[in-house]
Structure formats: structure tokens, C-alpha cells
């Protein structure tokens, strides 16, 4: 009998499996896909051309000690810093966002003026404590006590009253951004970043998402050499070295309780007996696997707000006003808050954005 079966070989499942195996447990990971990593994978889209399935830039992992703790460098993982971490090309003058707050403010001042540069510095200083509290909470077990400590820490670091903090955090990102900045380019950039989590920047409670821009000034974003999937591949190698097993192309079809633990039946019909199961797949898929159709039906899943389109081209894109770092960083391809809001309006009408 296996100690633990992990359902899903995405990066989260692989991290859990690595720590379990490192603690001495016998671990088997089952994955429906033939490629490990989920969205953190790199596949050959065209002959000789490997392309990342999801994001090419890693942010959150660089705010943890996970890479060092699991010694993933021993399994070939190397990161290159993404510097600048973002640019906003614009005909009237682009913006360049560096991990160095001084360099970023210099770029903002040149394009938007000294008032917006000072406002951005203040914005990062104000939201930095919230970002740190969020990251600290994510590095601890998700118990009520630990979440309470994180909330207490956040309240202690906030410069105003608790009531003011709650009001600020419940505001729309769009409103908080408009209060701080005047130039539409800067407002569009921060609004674009806030929109990446899904809710529109004009929705209540999205202000903290805009505030997470502060974390880019705490640790540099990175890109794994060889593609985003190198992180998952290094995790898989670490797991294998610790005695764990990964089975691809035969994911879980069902999970059920058994007398001595659990049984995971794979798509091929094989039954894996184990003492515990870690589900690293979507919560609705987890409910389906355990046979709880009522719970699965109760979850409201909205439509996605975007999609990734991959192109194989014979040249890099060019902009009317060149900006340093445009081809190695995130490109904030939005020119105004109104464009962003209009795109959400098209989405709500069930139409693709007229000006994406």
C-alpha cells in the first residue's frame, strides 16, 4: 500500500509530493496528461520550437525559499532575473518598471511627471506591508490561528485605523488607482495588473490585487532557463530522487474511502490503495472524483476573461516608440483605463474585446 497518492502533477501537486517524499512517505503522483506541470510546462508546438503553456514569468515562487529548500538547482533549475519586470509601450512615451523602485520612479517621472512618480513610490510603500503579510500567510499551514496571526500582523503594519484599512481593502482597484494617479498610462498599467486575477478592476474588493505590484519591488521576477516547465521538471526529478513515482497518461477516475485508507481508481481501471490522498486538481474535479455531484454542481464557474495565443514569427514585434526591455519582460498592452473597462463590457455581452 502506498502512503500517499497525489492527484495531479501540476507544480502545486509536485511540490506537495516532494515534501511528503522528503519526510519519508511513499508517494505516487497520477496525471491524466502525458506532460507534467499543468500550466507550468513547456511543450513543442512547432518542430524544434518549445513554448510555455502558461505564464513564462515566475513571481510568487521567488518570494519563498522553496527552490533553495528543495535544492532544485541540483536538478538543473536556473533562473534568469526578469529586469525590467514590465513595460508599457505607448506612442506618447512608454513606462519601464524595474525591481529597483528608484529606476521605476525615474521612468514614471519622465513620462507622467514628478507627482505621479512620487505617488507611485508612496503607493508601493503603503501596500508593501499588505503584500508581505499575504506572502507570510501563504508560507504557513492554512490554520485559523495562522490566518489570524497574518490578519493581526497586517493591522499592526497598516498606517491608519483598522476601520480605514477595511474600507480601503474593500474598494475597487479602479477607484484606488484613480485617487492616486493622474496619467492614464500609469493608471492603465496598474489596472491591467489588477485584472490578471479575473475580477474587473471596477469590482469591489479588488484594491489589494492592485497593491500586489509592490511585491515586484521586494524580489525580482524570474524566468527559468529552458522554459517555464523547467520548474516542474526539476520538481519531478527531486521527487524521483527521494523515491517517489510519477505516472502520466493515466489520471484518477475516482477516489473513495476504504477500510484502511483510500482507493484511487485510474482511467485505465487500476486501483491504487493508499493511506491518504492529496488532490492537486480543480475543486470541482475533486468533488466529481469523490462522487459528490451536489458539491460539484454548487460551485459557480464563470467564463474565462482571456486566452493565450501563440505565434511563430520571423521577427520580434516592434513598437512605434521603442522601449528598453520590451522583448524580455511582461508587456502591458493597454493604453487607458477606459480600454480595459470597455473590454470587460464586451466580455459581459459575450463578445470578444473589440480592442483587446
**Peptide bond just before 264 cis, omega within 30 deg:** no
Residue 87 forms part of a structural domain = yes
The Cα–Cα gap between 291 and 11 comes to: 25
Are residues 326 and 200 both part of a single domain? Answer: yes
Are residues 161 and 101 both part of a single domain? Answer: yes
Residue 8 forms part of a structural domain = yes
Residue 122 forms part of a structural domain = yes
Are residues 134 and 176 both part of a single domain? Answer: yes
The Cα–Cα gap between 192 and 335 comes to: 10
Are residues 210 and 236 both part of a single domain? Answer: no
Predicted local distance difference test score (pLDDT) of residue 133:
81
Residue 62 forms part of a structural domain = no
Residue 73 forms part of a structural domain = no
The Cα–Cα gap between 169 and 152 comes to: 15
Are residues 233 and 280 both part of a single domain? Answer: yes
Is pLDDT of 306 > 80? Answer: no
Residue 109 forms part of a structural domain = yes
Put residue 318 in one of left, alpha, beta given phi > 0 → left and psi -120 to 50 → alpha. beta
Higher-pLDDT residue of 164, 211: 211
Tens-place pLDDT, residues 67-119: 999 999 999 999 999 999 999 999 989 999 999 999 999 999 999 999 999 99
Predicted local distance difference test score (pLDDT) of residue 141:
81
172, 210 contact by CB (below 8 A): no
Q: Which domain holds residue 272?
A: 2-56+227-298
Are residues 109 and 184 both part of a single domain? Answer: yes
56, 221 contact by CB (below 8 A): no
**What CATH number does residue 44 fall under?**
3.50.50.60
How many Cα atoms are found within 13 Å in the side-chain-facing hemisphere of 350?
0
Tens-place pLDDT, residues 240-299: 999 999 999 999 999 999 988 999 999 999 999 999 999 999 999 999 999 998 888 888
**Total domain count for the chain?**
2
Are residues 202 and 231 both part of a single domain? Answer: no
Predicted local distance difference test score (pLDDT) of residue 197:
82
Residue 346 forms part of a structural domain = no
Are residues 125 and 237 both part of a single domain? Answer: no
Residue 68 forms part of a structural domain = no
Q: Give the pairing of strands 86-88 and 330-331.
A: parallel
Amino acid at each position: 500500500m502506498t502512503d500517499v497518492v497525489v492527484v495531479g502533477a501540476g507544480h502545486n501537486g509536485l511540490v506537495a509530493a516532494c515534501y511528503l517524499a522528503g519526510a519519508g512517505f511513499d508517494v505516487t503522483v497520477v496525471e491524466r496528461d502525458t506532460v507534467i506541470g499543468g500550466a507550468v510546462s513547456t511543450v513543442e508546438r512547432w518542430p524544434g520550437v518549445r513554448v510555455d503553456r502558461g505564464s513564462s514569468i515566475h513571481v510568487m515562487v521567488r518570494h519563498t525559499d522553496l527552490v533553495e529548500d528543495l535544492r532544485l538547482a541540483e536538478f538543473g533549475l536556473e533562473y534568469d532575473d526578469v529586469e525590467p519586470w514590465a513595460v508599457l509601450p505607448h506612442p506618447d512615451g512608454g513606462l519601464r518598471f524595474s525591481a529597483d523602485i528608484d529606476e521605476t520612479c525615474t521612468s514614471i517621472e519622465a513620462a507622467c511627471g514628478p507627482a505621479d512618480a512620487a505617488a507611485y513610490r508612496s503607493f508601493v510603500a503603503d501596500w508593501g506591508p499588505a503584500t508581505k503579510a499575504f506572502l507570510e500567510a501563504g508560507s504557513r499551514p492554512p490554520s485559523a490561528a495562522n490566518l489570524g496571526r497574518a490578519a493581526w500582523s497586517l493591522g499592526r503594519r497598516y498606517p491608519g485605523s483598522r476601520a480605514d484599512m477595511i474600507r480601503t481593502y474593500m474598494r475597487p482597484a479602479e477607484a484606488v488607482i484613480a485617487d492616486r494617479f493622474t496619467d492614464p498610462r500609469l493608471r492603465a498599467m496598474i489596472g491591467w495588473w489588477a485584472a490578471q486575477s479575473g475580477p474587473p478592476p471596477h469590482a469591489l474588493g479588488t484594491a489589494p490585487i492592485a497593491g500586489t505590484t509592490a511585491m515586484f519591488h521586494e524580489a525580482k521576477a524570474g524566468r527559468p532557463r529552458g522554459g517555464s516547465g523547467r520548474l516542474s521538471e526539476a520538481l519531478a526529478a527531486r521527487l524521483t530522487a527521494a523515491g517517489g513515482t510519477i505516472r502520466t497518461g493515466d489520471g484518477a477516475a475516482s477516489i473513495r474511502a476504504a477500510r484502511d485508507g483510500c482507493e484511487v481508481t485510474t482511467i485505465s481501471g487500476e486501483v491504487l490503495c493508499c493511506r491518504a490522498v492529496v488532490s492537486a486538481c480543480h475543486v470541482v474535479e475533486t468533488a466529481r472524483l469523490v462522487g459528490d455531484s451536489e458539491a460539484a454542481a454548487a460551485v459557480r464557474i464563470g467564463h474565462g476573461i482571456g486566452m493565450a495565443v501563440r505565434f511563430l514569427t520571423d521577427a520580434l514585434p516592434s513598437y512605434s516608440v521603442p522601449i528598453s526591455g520590451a522583448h524580455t519582460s511582461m508587456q502591458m498592452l493597454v493604453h487607458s483605463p477606459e480600454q480595459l473597462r470597455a473590454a470587460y463590457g464586451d466580455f459581459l455581452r459575450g463578445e470578444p474585446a473589440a480592442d483587446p
